[in-house]
Structure 1
Amino acid sequence: MITALNDITFEHPQWFWLFLIFPFLIAWQFYTYNKQNATVKLSSLSGFSGDQGWLSKLKPILMVFRLLAIALLITAMARPRTVDVSTQTNTTQGVDIVMAIDVSASMLARDLKPNRLEALKEVASDFVQARPTDRIGLVVYAGESFTKTPITSDKRIVLNALNDIEYNTLIESGTAIGMGLATSVNRLKDSEAKSKVIILLTDGVNNAGFIDPKIATELALEYDIKTYTIGLGSNGMALGPVSIDRQGNFNYGRVPVEIDETLLKEIANKTGGQYFRATDNDKLEKIYEEINKLETTEIEEFKFYNYDEKYRVLVLIAAFLLLLEVLIKNTLLRSFV
């Protein structure tokens, strides 16, 4: 099978510096070539007119053979070879993660760009792609909650589900933090992963649902599920939806940002997680990067290298050229050298 040039590597490329002497070798070959030809002074060359024999014209080939052989030997010393690398990955500790996302109308506020929900989707997508060996699921909640995607190792499914998340009027209005957390716990309680994590994000206070957030926290604690909580929204006032016009479009106005940070901190502290506050796009991105570092997955990667040495062929060709030079010099060109 023909090996592509870009697949060849050199173990000792420093030998290529020897090619710098090639101009001097060529000059020396031409110099000695003229010295090897004997000269005879005659008063007239009329008796020697006519074409030289074809054998005498082969003499410069000896120099070419010798230079090619030297070039091949230098390349052989650089030790050209190809390598076939096979990788075996062993995940020694997996993490199952559920992202619980608030999809209430307030998530359309524009204190993050273009709005809170779209900013979250972009950052969460990067987070999913950064966890190739973990299983991830999605829970969305407003006044009620439901599972958008069960925990799965197929990141394409999770990313598509994230991209499809949007505010709609089919979900009961409000912010049911307790139900969002409880639904997430339900997705993870039977998991056999060594680490189970919920990332719960909201931009409001618990004002809906029939499950108290403290009850949901106790459930997470019982099933050893760590919960990271994120409060999303700028401090003070933000441009958010305040009403809907006849065409079904939101009218925006300045509204206060109300986040129950006390509750979110309590959920995180009791379950062994952390609470974060994201007031802009950059902080939201850094929070997910921090969580990504905190929840590491131990991976063992074994690489196996199979080298195919190519220098032997070059040495054989070089030896053949030198032998050919000696044979031609002592047979066909014996009368001319």
Structure 2
Amino acid sequence: MMPELGPLHFLRPHWLWALLALAPLAWAWRARRRSGGVWQRVVDPHLLPHLLERGGDRRARAAGALAAFAWVLAVLALAGPSWRQDTQPLWQGGTPLVVALDLSSASNAADLPPSRLAQARAKIAALLRARAAGQVGLVAYAGDAFTVAPLTDDAGNVALFLDALAPEVMPVDGQRADRAIAQARRLLRQAGFERGAILLLTDHADAAARGAAASAARAGYRVFALGLGRAEGAAYRRGDGTLARTRLDAASLRALAAAGGGRYAAIAGDDGDGDLRALGVLTPGAGEAMPGGERGGRSWRDEGYWLLPPLLLLALFAFRRGGAVAALLLCLWLPWQPARAVELWRRPDQAAHARMAEAAQAYRRGDYARAAALYAGVGTADAHYNRGNALAKAGRYPQALAAYDEALKRAPRMADALANKRAVEAAMKPRPPPRGADDSQRPGSQGGGDGASAGAPQPQAAQDRPSQRQAQRSPADRAEPGAAPGKAPAPRPADARRQAAADAAQRERMQRALQRAGRGAPRDGAREPAEAETPGQRERRLANEAWLRRVPDDPGGLLREKFRIEYERRRNGGTEE
């Protein structure tokens, strides 16, 4: 698109006042020239024509004129002349969204068959699939609120946690929607967003929740409500085993949405997304007023840079005689290469972010040595943690332990680094000698029983998706095997059997993924042929596979433990991460 032409004007017109200084400067220079200088004060007048160079006055006048012209060019360039406009795109459609899901025991009520929880999971999955743009985060709450997934552009990463969400993962029962809104606000603020949206999935809202929604709206975060349940309600069993009854209070949720500047809709018990479209969360930014009532804008272009080349040419004549020609020859002699001024003007945090992004790409394509080298150039706790993961993937266990130690020096309470360090230490422990020639009796074989834990497992705690955020890590980067190796699965309550089929499918997918990750994973990026495998390497591989099969058969165990630790820290007066 051609820029729009318009009348000449200046973006910074106050610089034009500097032109007024040209007159007194010219008067001072002329007065100094008339004074005759040093030679006229000490040499007789009849000798001056023989001592002074002829034509000096003409050259001096020419130099003065060039200096005045250069002054005018410099002032005009600083004033920012502009005579054309360009379209200035405004960023919209990228409003971030934090989904807050009610995981109280009331979510097991069956007024939305098969349960409210099953319908809520399906609705969130539909939202993640259909949402047009913008980052998405996930918060679960009951008697307190906890982060399941921080804000991310990868909606698929958030969807991985849906099957593990159940009331049993929450450390305390209740329906504190006000804390869920506060936690969602905290995520948006930590991610640097001044505006955003919060979607609450629950069956009612009390006065505290309405106050939290009004506070969020004043801070720039709109609160939407999606009602779970039916007006007639249904019975459910609390965590302590007692029976209770719950119903959908649509009036309180409408009041919550009104206080939060959002909308309310009741969840539709079908596979459609009409309820989500009614809320307006599928097309982020749609319908939101832009400053000045416009959705786009035009800006004047600063054309002052066109005056810089002639100004630089004039500056060449300020050098001593012959300097201008030498400078021109030097410019012609220098090799012409693409300018890389962006690298010179990057702030340290921008350079660190770019280095982390490049390291993450190297990690994903299996170039662990390159990833470790790039992470080593960033001195944050997350960088050292990711460097440890890369070194562990490459089989350099001592260096990985040193990297985890560096991360723990900067963030002593980083649970991921502690869990991965334990996994690497377990992998480095010596194995007992085999009990027989039969592979089924070797440690780590399928028939070895407890001997599987004696093998040296390759640490799967080093995740395939290294963290790129400096302030907060995703739960996807946590070490499931290393966090609680050998822990028995917690018993599943009777009222959660409706989700048994979904949980079983999730466990099967996790087992297949873990087995693929542990079977012959190359440490240095090149897979060795099967015929080159030594007996020791084969024994180690079998031990790794058996260790992976010992992963607890509980997909919600990681979240349960994470929420419990965070809840205990809050009760003891700890600060939020």
TM superposition score normalised by structure 1: 0.51
Aligned to 1:183: 183
Aligned to 2:168: 168
- What SS does the aligned partner of 1:282 have? coil
Q: What is the CA distance between 1:113 and its match in structure 2?
A: 2.4
Q: Give, in whole Å, the separation in 2 of the partners of 1:284 and 1:104.
A: 25
Q: What is the CA distance between 1:239 and its match in structure 2?
A: 4.4
Note if 1:271 corresponds to 2:260: yes
Aligned to 1:291: 279
Aligned to 1:216: 212
Retained in 2: the 8 A contact 1:124–1:288?
A: no
Q: What is the CA distance between 1:230 and its match in structure 2?
A: 1.9
Q: Give, in whole Å, the separation in 2 of the partners of 1:225 and 1:199.
A: 10
Q: What is the CA distance between 1:109 and its match in structure 2?
A: 1.1
Change (3 A) 1:269 1:292: closer
Retained in 1: the 8 A contact 2:140–2:147?
A: yes
Retained in 2: the 8 A contact 1:205–1:258?
A: no
Q: Give, in whole Å, the separation in 2 of the partners of 1:128 and 1:294.
A: 9
Q: Give, in whole Å, the separation in 1 of the partners of 2:153 and 2:90.
A: 13
Q: What is the CA distance between 1:144 and its match in structure 2?
A: 0.8
**Structure 1 residue runs without a partner (length 5+):** 1-89, 246-250, 299-337
Q: What is the CA distance between 1:197 and its match in structure 2?
A: 0.5
Q: CA RMSD in A?
A: 3.2
> Match of 1:227, as an amino acid?
V
Retained in 2: the 8 A contact 1:105–1:173?
A: yes
Note if 1:106 corresponds to 2:106: yes
Q: Give, in whole Å, the separation in 1 of the partners of 2:97 and 2:178.
A: 18
Q: Give, in whole Å, the separation in 2 of the partners of 1:205 and 1:193.
A: 25
**Relative contact order (C-alpha < 8 Å, sep 6+): which is higher?**
1
Retained in 2: the 8 A contact 1:120–1:284?
A: no
Largest Rg, 1 or 2: 1
Change (3 A) 1:91 1:118: farther
- What SS does the aligned partner of 1:168 have? helix
Q: What is the CA distance between 1:217 and its match in structure 2?
A: 2.0
Aligned to 2:141: 141
Retained in 2: the 8 A contact 1:97–1:199?
A: yes
Q: Give, in whole Å, the separation in 1 of the partners of 2:182 and 2:152.
A: 19
Q: How much identity, in percent, do the aligned residues show?
A: 25
Note if 1:281 corresponds to 2:269: yes
Retained in 1: the 8 A contact 2:106–2:246?
A: no
Where is the helix percentage greater, Structure 1 or Structure 2? 2
Q: Give, in whole Å, the separation in 1 of the partners of 2:142 and 2:251.
A: 19
> Match of 1:197, as an amino acid?
A
Retained in 2: the 8 A contact 1:127–1:292?
A: no
Retained in 2: the 8 A contact 1:236–1:256?
A: no
Number of residue pairs matched by the alignment: 199
Find 1:234's aligned residue among 230, 235, 253. 230
> Match of 1:265, as an amino acid?
R
**Stretch moving more, 158-167 or 101-110:** 158-167
Q: What is the CA distance between 1:171 and its match in structure 2?
A: 2.1
Note if 1:118 corresponds to 2:144: no
Where is the strand percentage greater, Structure 1 or Structure 2? 1
Q: Give, in whole Å, the separation in 2 of the partners of 1:100 and 1:126.
A: 15
Aligned to 2:201: 201
Retained in 1: the 8 A contact 2:133–2:283?
A: no
**Structure 2 residue runs without a partner (length 5+):** 1-88, 287-577
Aligned to 1:96: 96
Retained in 1: the 8 A contact 2:210–2:259?
A: no
TM superposition score normalised by structure 2: 0.31
